[in-house]
Copies of this chain bind each other. A is one copy, B any other.
């Protein structure tokens, strides 16, 4: 039988595998690791890559925290009783490439358990600075294949959830081309801990398959200083999303988490212009048009 130790160990391995895969894709930079401990129990390993051939800044973080369940988590999860212990473990990834034609990638997979309550949550979404529709289709197809191994309804449901979640309301723009998002997946008539865990493993394993081909395909393209400026502007939007809306960031900042680990998701460099304008049908304008509505990438 699977238990929480197996799940934490799987996430530990996932961090190792993804770091190895990204280092290979970069070809130069290595992840640097900072171990941290949580006074109340548990801790994590923050791994950051900087100034590589491909990756300007990125983090692949593992954490496993436990101890007495804080009241707000009991309340949020409808847990009653005294002396309830909790465990939360997961992997969180954001990678900002140098190259404006290589997309930003994000993934999070997590497990929570307290008393008799348990659930998995997570998501993976792609944020190209310039949208290449073929790349978006490839990315979504890879995620759909991982979903379809476990349920024919997963992809449709979780893709829709991602469109709603990865949305920058005050800009009227999706963050990127979306992906999948899911939360509080527990047991029901159809699924149990084993089958939910199997699904989350498939998502974890889809990360390198869905992302590294896009790095390879785009990293040698020529680009201009204007392309770079646009990239910095889109990174500004990314910072807006993470600081204003992202649940994990809010949760971390408001529960006295390790700030440098939480905010490794912020871009190495970002810009904000006032009311920038782009010529109709320019690459920038076309990307904005696509971001203004969720899209069906797989027919």
Contact = CB atoms under 8 A, between A and B. Distances in A.
A259 B50 contact: no
Contacts of A169: 253
Contacts of A124: none
Interface string A255-299: 010011011101111111111000000000000000000000000
Given A253-B170, A259-B171, A269-B232, A274 B48 contact: yes
Interface residues of A, number: 31
A61 to B, nearest CB: 11
A260 B244 contact: no
A110 interface: no
A268 to B, nearest CB: 6
Given A170-B253, A236-B266, A274 B50 contact: yes
A206 B244 CA distance: 32
Contact of A268 (B239, B240, B271, B275): B271
Contacts of A262: 170
Given A34-B275, A239-B239, 17 more contacts: A48-B274, A48-B275, A57-B273, A57-B274, A169-B253, A170-B253, A170-B256, A232-B269, A236-B266, A239-B243, A239-B270, A244-B244, A244-B253, A263-B272, A264-B274, A269-B270, A269-B271
A59 interface: yes
Interface of A: 34, 48, 50, 57, 59, 169-171, 232, 236, 239-240, 243-244, 253, 256, 259-260, 262-264, 266-275
12 contacts: A48-B275, A169-B253, A170-B263, A232-B269, A239-B243, A240-B263, A243-B243, A260-B274, A260-B275, A268-B271, A269-B271, A270-B271
Contacts of A232: 269
A47 to B, nearest CB: 10
Given A253-B244, A266-B236, A269-B269, A170 B259 contact: yes
